[in-house]
Amino acid sequence: MNNLKPDITWIVKNRPKKDVNLSKKMFPVEMSRISRRFHRQIPGYSMSPLRSLPHLAQMLDVGGLWVKDEAVRLELNSFKVLGGSFALYRFIQEKLGLKDEEILYENLISEEMKRKLGVITFASATDGNHGRGIAWAAQRLGQKCVIYVHKETSKRRIDAIKSYGAIVKVVEGNYDDAVRQIVIDSKKNGWEIISDTSWDDYTTVPAWIMQGYTTMMAEIQEQFSGQGIIKPTHVLVQAGVGALAAAVIGYYHSLFGEEAPKCIVIEPENAACLLHSAKINDGKPHSIDGDLDTIMAGLACGEPSPIAWEILKETVDAYVAVPDYVAAKGMRIYATPLAGDPFVISGESGAVTLGALVAILKENGVDALRDFLAINEESQVLFINTEGNTDPIQFRQIIWEGSNPVPKEYWTDPD
C-alpha cells in the first residue's frame, strides 16, 4: 500500500438502533410476491443469475463475492424495467379499479384494455435505463411515451430509448433540470409521469417503482438459499436519486430488521447527493449543484428522492463517494476475471460497487472505514450489476482503450 491520502470519501452511521418501521411498511414480504407474480407473466422473464466470484474473493481475503447480474434482464440489459413495468401495472390497476387477481399481463397488452384506457402518454426524465424501461413497457401497452434527457446523455442511450417508439427531448442542464422540465410540460400536455424520483405530492408512482425492484431481491434470497446462505453479511449498492438503494436496503431491513446486512451506498464523487445529505445530518435530503460530471450516467443525479431518503437515512451504515476511475476499474475486473471466475459484462454504473470494494479493502488511509465494515474471510458480500453494455462506445473506450485509468499512485498490490 502507498502512503497517500485515499481518493475516496465516506461517512459512517454507527447507530445503536435503526428505525425499520418505514422499511416494513413500504416493502412488506407480500409486496415482493405481488411484484414477482406480475413479472413472471412477461414473455421472456427468467431469474437473472447470481454469480459467484470465488477466486477474486480469495485474493481479497473475503468469504464470498456475489453479483446479481441484471445485464441479462429481459431484453433491456438493466434492472430498471422491473420498476417501470410494475409502476405501469399499478397505474392501470388504480385507474380502472382492478384487483391483483383481476388483471394479468396478457390482459394489459390486449386491445380491449387499450380501448378501456384510451390514449395515454407516459412521460419521464432519465439518464438512460429508466427511460428505456418506460418506453419498452409503454410500447407493449400500445401507448405513447415521451422521455426527457439531459444534454450530456450519449446518442447511444437516446437511440436505445427511441428504438421502443418513444419521443426523446434533450433538455439543457443536468438530470435534475430534465425532471423539473418534464413536470412542467406534463401538466401542460396532460401526460402521466412515471418517475423513479419523488417530490412534493408525487410519491405514489416512485413507491411503485421501488416495490417493482423487489422482484430482484426475492430472486436473490431464493438464490442465496440454494447456496445454503441465509443472507449476505454486506451489501454494496450504487445510488443516483436513491430509489434502487432504498429498495434493496429497505427490503433487507423489512425482512431481517436489526439483523439486516451492513449496507453501504456508493456514489460518484461529483454526484454524491446522499453522502452530502448524510453529512449535513438534519434528517432532510439536500441537493448538490453543478454539471454532475461522471462516466456513471445512471448515477448522475444531484437531488435525492425524498421517499428514498426517508428509508436510507435510518438504515444505511456507510455512504461512500468515489472517482470515475473506480467504476472503470470495476468494469475491467469483471471483464478480465481470474481463472475460474465468470466473465461479467458491466457498465459504468453497474461496476462501481466492485471497484469501490477493492478500494476500501486495498487503499491506504481507509482503515477507519475498513474496520467499521469488518469485511473478512467470513463475509458474504452482495453487489448488483445494474446494467450491461448499455453504451457500447464508452464500454470499449474503457475496456479496450484504457480510458479512466487508475492513477499510478493509487495502484495497489492485490497480495
Q: How confident is the model at residue 204 (pLDDT cuts 50, 70, 90)?
A: very high
Average pLDDT (235-262) is 98
The sheet carrying 167-171 orders its strands as 167-171, 144-150, 121-126, 192-193
Q: Looking at residue 118, what is its pLDDT?
A: 95
CB-CB neighbours of 220 under 10 Å: 24
Beta strand extents in 24-82 (DSSP E only): 50-52, 64-69
Q: pLDDT per residue over 129-168, tens digit each?
A: 999 999 999 999 999 999 999 988 999 999 999 999 999 9
Instruction: Give the residue with greater pLDDT, 106 vs 63.
Output: 63
Pairing of strands 64-69, 50-52: antiparallel
Phi and psi torsions of 159, nearest 5°: -65, -35
Alpha helices in 71-213 (DSSP H): 80-96, 105-108, 111-117, 129-141, 155-162, 175-189, 204-212
| Protein fold of 80-209 | Rossmann fold (3.40.50)
Q: What is the pLDDT of residue 103?
A: 75
Tracing cell 451504515 back to the chain, one arrives at 317
Handedness of CA 115, 118, 124, 128 (dihedral sign): positive
Strand extents, DSSP E, 239-367: 262-268, 318-322
Determine the pLDDT at residue 128: 79
How is the chain split into domains, by residue range? 9-78+213-410, 80-209
C-alpha cell at 126: 432519465
Q: What pLDDT is stored for residue 1 in this prediction? A: 43
Contact between residue 175 and residue 129 where contact means Cβ atoms under 8 Å apart: no
| Helices and strands: H and E segment counts in the chain | 18, 11
Q: What is the mean pLDDT of the chain?
A: 94
Contact 379, 62 (CB under 8 A): yes
Would 9-78+213-410 and 80-209 be classified into the same CATH topology? Answer: yes
- Give the whole-angstrom CA distance, residue 164 versus residue 331: 27
| CATH fold for the domain made of 9-78+213-410 | Rossmann fold (3.40.50)
DSSP-assigned beta bridge partners for residue 267? 321
- Sort 63 into a burial class: Cβ within 10 Å, 0-12 / 13-18 / 19+: middle
Residues classed as catalytic: 80, 127
Residue type, 209: I
What pLDDT sits at residue 72?
94
- pLDDT tens for 90-138 read 999 999 998 776 678 888 899 999 999 999 999 999 987 999 999 999 9
For the stretch 262-304, pLDDT in tens is 999 999 999 999 999 999 999 999 999 888 999 999 999 999 9
